[in-house]
C-alpha cells in the first residue's frame, strides 16, 4: 500500500480585514516579546555568576544563545509584518489584481506558519529559562539559609 504525502495548507478564505487583524495581533505579541526579552536579559545579568557555575554552564550558554537568536528573529518578524501590513493596500483597492493578491495571500500564509513556529519555539525557550533560573534561586536560598 502506498502512502500519499500531503502538505498542510491554510484553507480559510483570507480577506483583507482578517489579514489586517492577524497582522496587528502578531505585532502586538512580538512587541510584548521584545519587552519580555529585555526583562530576561536583566534577569540573566542578575544571576550571571550562578548561571556560569560548572553545573549550569552548558544549559545556560545554550539558552542565552537561543535567546539572542530568537531576539534577532523577533526583530526580523516585526519588520516583515510591518512591510506586509503596508502592502495590504493591494487587497483593499478597487482594482482587480489577481496575481498581486495571490502573492500577498501566499505571503500571509507563510507568515502564519512561520510566526506560529517562532512563538512555539519562544515559549519553549522561556520555559527552559525559567526552569534554570528557578533552580538557581532555590540553590541560592539554600546557601543563604545554611549561613
Interval 53-75: pLDDT, tens: 767 788 888 999 999 999 999 99
pTM beyond 0.85: no
| 35-109-102 Cα angle (round to 5) | 130
In the chain, where are the structural domains located? Answer: 17-146
Within 8 A by CB and 6+ apart from 91, the residues are 15, 16, 19, 101, 104
| 112-147 pLDDT, tens digit each | 999 999 999 999 999 999 999 998 888 887 776 665
The residue assigned the cell 502573492 is 103
Amino acid at each position: 500500500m502506498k502512502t500519499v504525502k500531503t502538505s498542510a495548507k491554510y484553507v480559510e478564505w483570507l480577506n483583507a480585514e482578517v489579514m489586517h487583524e492577524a497582522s496587528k495581533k502578531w505585532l502586538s505579541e512580538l512587541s510584548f516579546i521584545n519587552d519580555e526579552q529585555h526583562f530576561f536579559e536583566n534577569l540573566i545579568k542578575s544571576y550571571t555568576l550562578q548561571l556560569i557555575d560548572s553545573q549550569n554552564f552548558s544549559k545556560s550558554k545554550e539558552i542565552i544563545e537561543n535567546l539572542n537568536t530568537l531576539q534577532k528573529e523577533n526583530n526580523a518578524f516585526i519588520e516583515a509584518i510591518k512591510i506586509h501590513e503596508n502592502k495590504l493596500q493591494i487587497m483593499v483597492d478597487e482594482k482587480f489584481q489577481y496575481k498581486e493578491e495571490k502573492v500577498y495571500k501566499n505571503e500571509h500564509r507563510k507568515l502564519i506558519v512561520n510566526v506560529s513556529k517562532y512563538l512555539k519555539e519562544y515559549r519553549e525557550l522561556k520555559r527552559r529559562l525559567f526552569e534554570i533560573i528557578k533552580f538557581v534561586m532555590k540553590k541560592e536560598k539554600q546557601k543563604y539559609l545554611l549561613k
